[in-house]
Structure 1
């Protein structure tokens, strides 16, 4: 990744290079680009859902999603044919929580993931296409047995160490949320709806297929979210090209605004594409999906 600005280390991130984006380990191993995108997005949503159930702060969850995303980038990154997305998601959340003021036990992490990944009781559309049951499921349907917990714990610890090695132990993630709120105050924005919509855009962008959190610095993400929120709430900001004050040029702003606006459409398309079947989040399922597509091509 391209190193962050040393003078603004705590407010900036190391960014992915074009080569890392186009030549991932998964693509080298024959995972189609659209399948890789679907799995990465589903993994990010899984991380978000698990963090909410664990009552973790949104900044901790967002940092975990960014670490999860970084893990798959480049030829030296993780491959979806070697590591299961569900395991990387759990380990990224466990690692990030451990580094925060809200550490979470391995048992809590693994029980939550076991629930969310159950194709019988999961409320997640990409795991359980039939939808969550109307009646609350019995706890024995998703709480791990002691033997199951011990096995899963070993996997969790192993994948955590793999993530750290893959990222060269660089777990720093600067988020745009606090920066955006500071910019709103600087711009004199007093309408709470604009601030709320700004944060909503920043959270939704965590699932962007363009991977905006690893290709653009937090200040640029903050500016784009403010610009878009103000437009949607019909709130007039200061005259002139105010974004340049925050070190963002018009071209970058335009790209980010388009990217943020496209996330909702992308998510709708994903739901439509995977309507009747789960998105593969384990290695065997990924291999089966690749084989299914190959058989379909050969049968044409």
Structure 2
């Protein structure tokens, strides 16, 4: 990650252009569109698991950013070596452990076993057939004791791999609180606008442009406010107010377009993978590449 200036707790180390264009997965022959689909599905898996574990959105968002960083650059993880489901689980477990909401390995693995069940999962990219009419057999989604012991070893191993890959830098600054502070400064802290801002920031965690590792939190906050205020018909102060928050017009324009495109990207992903699940393990990735 490239170093940044400013207060550490308000900024992040951003990915370099070389890290974005030369991931370990691409160097290992994983097509870029397949890598994007798998990475996005992994972020959705992390989000859903975090909700089921009753973690706060702050913890979940930090876990998704950590998960995304792991795959960046030639020194990052490769989808032909590490299963996205394992990295997702380890990123969530690690982030929760470092927060005020630690959760046990058993809880994490039980949730992931359910979400990855081809018969019981509510996730469209795991179970394209949708929720079954009849309840699935318990053994299809309940983790056995032997299965738990094996999965726990994998979880702890991948946790250490993530830490080594990131150089033990687990700091993630989020734009959510910054955005709400900016709204108050602009005199636009209406419930509808605030809600829409948070929705845009959460949706951006799934962006194919990897907005959380390419732009600082203050820029993401400004773009979300710009979009939300327009959608809700709220007029902000006159002039180029975004420059007050250290964001130029070019960066704002890119982020607004990227945030607006996330919904269309997700629709296209569902259409592309409507008849099969997105690969979640190395063996499935290899099979998809051979196709």
Common topology (TM > 0.5) = yes
Q: Give the Cα separation in 1 of the matches to 2:109 and 2:66.
A: 18
User: What stretches of structure 1 of length at least 5 have no aligned partner?
Assistant: 293-300
Partner of 1:87: 86
| TM-superposed deviation, 1:191 | 2.0
Residue 276 (structure 2) aligns with: 277
Q: Tell me the C-alpha RMSD between the 2 structures.
A: 0.9
Paired residue secondary structure (2:242): helix
Do residues 149 (structure 1) and 174 (structure 2) align?
no
Contact in 1 for aligned 2:180/2:189 (Cα 8 Å): no
Task: Give the C-alpha shift of residue 143 in structure 1.
Answer: 1.7
Contact 2:21 2:73 in 1 (8 A): yes
How much has 1:162 moved relative to structure 2? Answer: 0.1
- Quote the Cα distance in structure 2 between the aligned partners of 1:136 and 1:167: 41
Q: Call closer, same or farther: CA 1:138–1:101 in 2, change over 3 Å.
A: farther
Query: 3-state SS of the aligned residue for 2:7?
Result: helix
Count of equivalent residues: 291
Partner of 1:242: 241
Q: What's 2:199 paired with?
A: 200
- Residues 46, 105 of structure 1: CA spacing in aligned structure 2 closer, same or farther, 3 A cutoff? same
> Is structure 2 residue 29 aligned with structure 1 residue 30?
yes
Q: CA deviation at 1:140?
A: 3.7
Cα distance in 2 for residues equivalent to 1:19 and 1:32? 17
Q: Deviations over 1:15-67 (max 9, x none)?
A: 00000000000000000000000000000000000000000000000000000
Alignment of 1:92-107 (within 5 A): 92-107=91-106
Give the C-alpha shift of residue 100 in structure 1.
0.4
- Distance, in Å, in 2 between the alignment partners of 1:17 and 1:264 is 26
**Structure 1: how far apart are the matches of 2:113 and 2:171?**
28
- Alpha-carbon separation, structure 2, partners of 1:215 and 1:285: 29
Pairing of 1:24-173 with structure 2 (within 5 A):
24-137=23-136, 139-173=138-172
Once residues 139 and 280 of structure 2 are traced to their aligned partners in structure 1, the CA distance between those partners, rounded to angstroms, is: 23
How far apart, CA to CA, are the structure 2 residues paired with 1:190 and 1:56? 26
Q: CA deviation at 1:136?
A: 4.9
More displaced stretch, 47-56 vs 187-196: 187-196
Q: CA deviation at 1:3?
A: 1.1
1:8 Cα deviation after fit:
1.0
Deviations 1:97-154 (A, max 9, x none): 0000000100000000000000001000000000022455454431211110000000
In the TM superposition, 1:241-260 aligns within 5 A as 241-260=240-259
